[in-house]
Chains A and B, each alone.
Chain A
Amino acid sequence: MLFFILRRLLWVPLILLVILGITTTLMRSAPGSPFAAEKRVDPQIEQQIAKKWGTDKSGLAWFGEYLKGVVKGDLGPSFKVQGRTVNDLLAAAMPVSLTLGLLALFLALAIGIPAGFLAGLRQNTAWDYGSMGIALIGISLPTFVIGAFLTVWLVFQWDVLPVGGWGTVKQLIMPAITLAAPFAAFIARLSRAGVLEVVHEDYIRTAKAKGLPKGEIVLKHLVRGAILPVVSYLGPAAAAILTGSFVVEKLFHIPGMGMFFVNSAINRDYSLILGVVIVYVPMLVVFNLLVDVAYAFLDPRVRLGK
């Protein structure tokens, strides 16, 4: 088990290197530059700027220099927020996205799983149709629409919450709900599907035949199997939700790192693009690893380390 985990973690640097290489190739071959502006500057000044920031080097030479810095823990200067390093920007933004993400993840699980189980256990009843109807809305509506509806009601109609910003618990409520909504909906559908799959399994029938009380069947036998689809979804979902959301952060004026994913690419802020990759890739790998480990506990058929 331990060996399995270590082996998977040892892969992280290599995976990261490959993804960084691909990202660098893509971003350097995309048209434009970090310094493109509507007002074009004198070509000589353009050269001076490229020299100052090191973008006059070939893609490979630049990547080499960059990696040297990364090994030392220096992610380089941001091209678009000058005077700050990518380390500065991520250090300031990550706690914000992490806080919001954890809360949203908690909400998504706390709403999604019970709703899904209820729907699955009471298939084709009003409970089922009701919760799946709401889930369908949650999946279909993009976050910017949900966020806008919440803003209209909670801010402009009822005047109970601030319109955005970061600093108080009140300011956290709307973005957390908005961020959680699509995840909650997806989790609800997955757990319903999980319940329906497991509920007809032989071991559940056996448990019923043994005369176990219904509550005990659900808690002891059903949950373990039915939760598996949710668990596998949680790996990538947690990595995505904890690194922030572009739409939610923009809409509610939150200084998180979700913005960096999109803005750095639009701005061709090379070092920041790679910086978010460096944060996101290990998170994704680690969360997927956690999923596999969780499988070993939940599913008796899975044994790690072989």
Chain B
Amino acid sequence: MRKTLLLCAAVSALCVGVVALTFARAAVEPADFTFVNGAEPKTLDPHTMTGQPDGRIALALFEGLTYLDPKTLLPVPGVAERWDVEDDGLLWTFHLRHNARWSNGDTVTAKDFYWSWKRLLAPETASEYSYMLWDVVNAEKFTKGEVKDFSQVGIELLDDWTIRIRLKAYVPYFLDLISFYTLCPVHPATVGKWDKIAPGRWTLPGNIVTNGPFLLESWVVNDRIRLRKNPKYWDADSIKLETIDAFSMDDATAQLNVYLRGEAQWNPGYWPASLNREILKLPDFTRTEAFIVYYYRINNTLPQFKDRRVRQALSLAIDRTEIVKNVLGLGETEAFNYVPPGVAGYVPPEGLGYHPDRARQLLAEAGYPGGKGFPKTNILYNTFEVHRQVATVVARQLSKNLGIEVQPFNEEWQAYQQHTRTLEYDLARAGWIADYRDPITFLDMWITDGGNNQTGYSNPLYDRLYRIAKDTLAFVAAPDEEIYGKLVEGGTLKALVEATRALPAGSPERLASLSKVRMLVLKEMDRLVSEIDVPILPVYFYVTKTLLKPEIGGCYLYLDRGDGKKIPNVLDMHPLRGFFRKDR
């Protein structure tokens, strides 16, 4: 028996020994500023990343030709000192500053951008966001392997300090794209070296070479990323924080706890949804409208949903006010159209509204009076508390208002994704987050056979409008008169097009007028999906929610565009370079 006791003692000693060894090191010194960054970033390679947590870090580590000023989110000179725009907005020439440096001391040149964009577009990089550059001549074809020779792509290296881009069509938000993390440069020699040894490892601390306001000091998976101010950054004086910690954590309770205990000073909306009503009462809680829509896809290929009157009936029978008031309660707004508010110059269509009587009438006209004979309908959603609640309420509303049998139907994330793509659903939950501030980022989804369509919806008129929105200049130059008759606001569009044609080429007035034409075309597209064809059911527009300790500054939920008016930060973008401490 003594042996057993000895064994016990040995085990305990071992325990204590291991613990002591592991914890001999000192605790990590807290950073100047710590925030909850959500899930572990997939990568720190700006060309292959897609997630918001990844993007927050990337924009601290890298800098593009331009970047978005944290206060205004307007593009300002980054590595590029200035730029010229010619040819009705088709030709952009960027002039680089001479004092931008990589963290290893190398100068940032136009060659680095040329190399980086070639890498971004190259098929073997397999970048999910390479389409950010597809407005450039032949860029899409290069990515898809249809053009092999990069010199045919509209990116031209004039000298070490000048790079020129030729666009396929006028893109009003082009500088927003240039400022996006996907178009940031990477250090060619470093990436090239690691590609030969172990691809991807160049992003790890110690290997990575960056050109942004911060350096990657350490990165512990499922713990934190530590950033340190980059002394070699050309505008280092404007950076106020020495160290930043980004916590990687995906448990909603833990995310809230570290904020409440002050171990993190910023929590951009990560907490259990069930606590929303409590969090609403905290003095450091703020919210704004977000450029995100929550909607349901309708499987347009199912026989009962092929009739647009049925789809309209579904939309008319959803009481969105009940959902935003009773289920959500954080100030979300009802979505009667598809594009969220927040784009200057975009007036959304009204949508169908909530009219159960009209809904029943349409359903009867489609051959289902009182919902009789209508097949049982499932609302597919992926596992998440809010999705379950919304689906339950919508199912009840549809059942009650239309007399049809509707039920929520839950699947785990991967199965849900698969079944949405293969159109194995009746109705399916979905959401869409904008990458840049333009309605096209929402509306390009519903073109025939679009990768994100996943409803089977197809309307040649919609596709035609999409092409006009993508190249409004070409349409204005040679308008096809017949389209006006097919649109609700065709007359207004015609007048606008003619007014634009009368303006001198290249003038700012003409670009502004072109933009108006484009916005009206986008509105007609929105009208098709939310009022006429209704391949989807918009439900609500999100809000951006944030908890921020009072001692932290530089997180702007409302943007100051200089004209005295504050506009909401609908993209929920808060570049880390802008943060500072008010108490130091």
Contact = CB atoms under 8 A, between A and B. Distances in A.
B126 A219 contact: no
B257 A164 contact: yes
Interface in B402-452: 412-415, 417-419, 421, 430-431, 451-452
A44 B134 CA distance: 14
Given A40-B452, A99-B22, A255 B222 contact: yes
A40 B421 contact: yes
Given A164-B254, A164-B258, A32 B418 contact: yes
Contacts of A172: 19, 23
A36 interface: yes
Interface string A91-114: 011011011001101100110000
B263 A39 contact: no
A157 interface: no
Given A82-B43, A155-B257, A266-B413, A253 B419 contact: no
A77 B451 CA distance: 28
A30 interface: yes
Interface residues of B, number: 66
B220 A37 contact: no
Contacts of A148: 253
Interface stretch (A9-17, A47-55, A279-287): A47-55
A72 B14 CA distance: 31
B223 A166 contact: yes
B261 interface: yes
A255 B4 contact: no
Contact of B263 (A40, A51, A163, A266): A163
Contacts of B15: 102-103, 105-106
Interface string B197-228: 00011111000000000000000111100000
A253 B413 contact: no
Nearest to A223: B1
A163 B18 CA distance: 23
Given A45-B127, A83-B200, A155-B261, A253 B251 contact: yes
B221 A168 contact: no
B392 interface: no
B206 to A, nearest CB: 12
Interface string A204-240: 0000000000000001100110000000000000000
B223 A40 contact: no
B131 interface: yes
Interface residue range, chain A: 35 or more
A255 B451 contact: no
A172 B221 CA distance: 18
A89 B221 contact: yes
Contact of B220 (A102, A106, A110, A255): A255
Contacts of A110: 12
B332 interface: no
Nearest to A53: B126
A42 interface: yes
B144 interface: yes
B572 to A, nearest CB: 16
B340 to A, nearest CB: 16
Given A32-B413, A39-B452, A165-B263, 18 more contacts: A30-B414, A36-B413, A42-B451, A45-B127, A48-B125, A48-B126, A52-B124, A77-B200, A82-B42, A82-B45, A83-B44, A110-B12, A162-B263, A167-B28, A172-B19, A255-B220, A255-B222, A297-B3
